[in-house]
Amino acid sequence: MSEPTSIAGEGAGGTLRPLSRLGDITTGHQCWQPTIGTTASLNVFCNGQAVHMETNTFTPHTCGTDVHPDVASKGSTTVRVNGLGVMRLGDVLAPGGALMAQSTFNVFAKS
Protein backbone atom coordinates (compact mmCIF):
# COMPACT_ATOMS: atom_id res chain seq x y z
CA MET A 1 0.00 0.00 0.00
CA SER A 2 1.45 3.38 -0.99
CA GLU A 3 1.69 6.27 1.43
CA PRO A 4 -0.23 9.52 0.79
CA THR A 5 1.88 12.18 -0.90
CA SER A 6 0.58 14.93 1.42
CA ILE A 7 -1.23 15.02 4.74
CA ALA A 8 -2.81 18.34 5.72
CA GLY A 9 -3.31 18.90 9.43
CA GLU A 10 -1.00 16.00 10.25
CA GLY A 11 -0.78 16.82 13.97
CA ALA A 12 -4.55 17.30 14.44
CA GLY A 13 -6.95 14.62 15.67
CA GLY A 14 -9.62 13.13 13.48
CA THR A 15 -9.95 10.86 10.49
CA LEU A 16 -7.94 11.35 7.30
CA ARG A 17 -10.18 11.89 4.28
CA PRO A 18 -9.24 12.76 0.69
CA LEU A 19 -9.67 16.36 -0.54
CA SER A 20 -12.50 17.41 -2.85
CA ARG A 21 -11.65 19.50 -5.90
CA LEU A 22 -13.35 21.51 -8.62
CA GLY A 23 -15.05 19.04 -10.96
CA ASP A 24 -15.64 16.39 -8.26
CA ILE A 25 -19.27 15.29 -7.90
CA THR A 26 -21.71 15.01 -5.00
CA THR A 27 -24.11 12.20 -4.06
CA GLY A 28 -27.24 14.24 -4.72
CA HIS A 29 -30.09 13.89 -2.19
CA GLN A 30 -33.62 12.48 -2.26
CA CYS A 31 -34.76 12.97 -5.90
CA TRP A 32 -32.18 15.69 -6.70
CA GLN A 33 -29.42 14.31 -8.93
CA PRO A 34 -25.68 14.57 -8.18
CA THR A 35 -24.03 17.91 -8.99
CA ILE A 36 -20.60 19.30 -9.80
CA GLY A 37 -18.87 22.17 -8.00
CA THR A 38 -18.85 25.48 -9.85
CA THR A 39 -16.66 27.47 -7.44
CA ALA A 40 -13.45 26.62 -5.58
CA SER A 41 -10.31 28.27 -4.22
CA LEU A 42 -8.60 30.65 -6.62
CA ASN A 43 -5.13 29.99 -5.20
CA VAL A 44 -4.98 26.52 -3.57
CA PHE A 45 -4.74 23.45 -5.79
CA CYS A 46 -4.62 19.68 -5.37
CA ASN A 47 -3.31 17.61 -8.28
CA GLY A 48 -3.73 20.67 -10.50
CA GLN A 49 -7.40 21.24 -9.60
CA ALA A 50 -8.75 24.02 -7.36
CA VAL A 51 -9.68 22.80 -3.85
CA HIS A 52 -13.28 22.94 -2.60
CA MET A 53 -13.92 24.78 0.67
CA GLU A 54 -16.95 25.75 2.75
CA THR A 55 -19.30 28.20 0.97
CA ASN A 56 -18.44 26.90 -2.54
CA THR A 57 -21.47 26.35 -4.78
CA PHE A 58 -22.52 23.46 -7.00
CA THR A 59 -24.59 23.27 -10.18
CA PRO A 60 -28.35 23.71 -9.62
CA HIS A 61 -30.41 20.53 -9.65
CA THR A 62 -34.15 19.87 -9.99
CA CYS A 63 -36.72 17.72 -8.26
CA GLY A 64 -40.28 18.40 -9.39
CA THR A 65 -40.62 22.18 -9.51
CA ASP A 66 -37.86 22.91 -6.97
CA VAL A 67 -34.50 23.99 -8.41
CA HIS A 68 -31.60 24.86 -6.13
CA PRO A 69 -27.81 24.75 -5.99
CA ASP A 70 -26.11 23.00 -3.09
CA VAL A 71 -23.49 24.82 -1.02
CA ALA A 72 -20.50 23.27 0.74
CA SER A 73 -21.49 23.68 4.37
CA LYS A 74 -19.38 21.53 6.72
CA GLY A 75 -15.74 20.84 5.93
CA SER A 76 -12.65 20.22 8.03
CA THR A 77 -12.46 22.05 11.35
CA THR A 78 -8.66 21.90 11.41
CA VAL A 79 -7.52 22.29 7.79
CA ARG A 80 -8.34 25.68 6.26
CA VAL A 81 -8.16 27.07 2.74
CA ASN A 82 -8.35 30.86 2.66
CA GLY A 83 -9.81 30.76 6.18
CA LEU A 84 -12.55 28.24 5.33
CA GLY A 85 -12.75 24.51 6.08
CA VAL A 86 -11.44 22.39 3.20
CA MET A 87 -14.03 19.95 1.78
CA ARG A 88 -13.28 16.22 1.77
CA LEU A 89 -14.89 13.00 0.62
CA GLY A 90 -18.11 12.57 2.66
CA ASP A 91 -18.38 16.20 3.82
CA VAL A 92 -21.90 17.68 3.87
CA LEU A 93 -23.58 20.17 1.53
CA ALA A 94 -26.76 22.15 2.20
CA PRO A 95 -29.70 22.44 1.95
CA GLY A 96 -30.48 18.77 1.30
CA GLY A 97 -27.64 16.90 2.95
CA ALA A 98 -25.80 15.72 -0.17
CA LEU A 99 -22.25 14.50 0.43
CA MET A 100 -19.03 14.95 -1.49
CA ALA A 101 -18.80 11.71 -3.48
CA GLN A 102 -15.59 12.17 -5.45
CA SER A 103 -12.09 13.32 -4.48
CA THR A 104 -8.39 12.88 -4.97
CA PHE A 105 -6.95 9.74 -3.44
CA ASN A 106 -3.44 10.92 -2.67
CA VAL A 107 -3.91 14.18 -0.68
CA PHE A 108 -5.69 13.91 2.66
CA ALA A 109 -6.95 16.22 5.45
CA LYS A 110 -8.05 15.48 9.00
CA SER A 111 -11.40 16.61 10.44
The pTM (predicted TM-score) of the whole model is: 0.84
> Is the CB of residue 69 less than 8 Å from the CB of residue 58?
yes
| 82/11 Cα distance (integer angstroms) | 20
Each residue's pLDDT, cut to its tens digit, for the chain (111 residues) gives 444 444 454 444 578 999 999 999 999 999 999 999 999 999 999 999 999 999 999 999 999 999 999 999 999 999 999 999 999 999 999 998 899 999 998 999 988
| 99/101 Cα distance (integer angstroms) | 6
DSSP code, position 77: S
The DSSP bridge pattern shows strands 107-109 and 45-46 to be unpaired
Q: Which domains does the chain have, with CATH numbers?
A: 21-106 (2.60.200.60)
